[in-house]
Amino acid sequence: MEKKRHGLWNFLIVLTLIICLAAFVLHYKNWTSIDNQSMKIVSGFYYQNINFSELDSVVLLDKIPPMERLNGFSALEKEKGVFREFKDSLTDKKVYVFVDNYASSKIKLVHHDSLKLFLNLKDSTDTEQLFKTLSEKIAVEPN
């Protein structure tokens, strides 16, 4: 007796695997691009575009402050998502976190007067180079 295979189930299994693999690749690392006017950060579903003219401060930190996760995820050394600081739990100010290596230094960006973003890259030397580039950009931009 010959079993009849259903092509629909095979298609759904393959489609599910492709979607899972695509989600993993998109969240695997922070994809950054810098031009003369702005910096774009993409990690999976999370996207930020920050104009250098709106950048208030750039600081290199060892640890990020404790925060409440609104959405996002933590896996191994990665922390990604939208958070809210405990001290500002009554406000709706969101803090974006794009951390690829929790053990290394993080860049804290403050933009639009009070919006915060924490960022680092998988390689600590790349993070330091990005910090140096952002520090130079903020020094050049008029306030």
Tokens of 3: 């079993």
pLDDT at position 89? 54
What digits encode the pLDDT tens for the residues 20-39? 888 877 777 888 899 989 99
Domain segments of the chain: what residues?
A: 7-140
In CATH, the number for domain 7-140 is: 2.30.29
pLDDT at position 141? 58
Helix or strand holding residue 42 (H, E): strand 38-43
Per-residue pLDDT for 6 more than 90? Answer: no
Query: Please, what is the average pLDDT of the chain?
Result: 86
Q: How are strands ordered across the β-sheet holding 106-111? A: 55-61, 106-111, 115-120, 95-99, 78-85, 67-75
Helix or strand holding residue 60 (H, E): strand 55-61
pLDDT at position 2? 61
pTM for the complete prediction? 0.79
Contacts of 70 (CB under 8 A, 6+ apart): 81, 82, 83, 84, 94
How sure is the predictor about 95, in pLDDT bands with cuts at 50, 70 and 90? very high
Pairwise CA distance, residues 130 & 103, whole Å: 17
Please tell me which residue, 99 or 93, carries the higher pLDDT value. 99
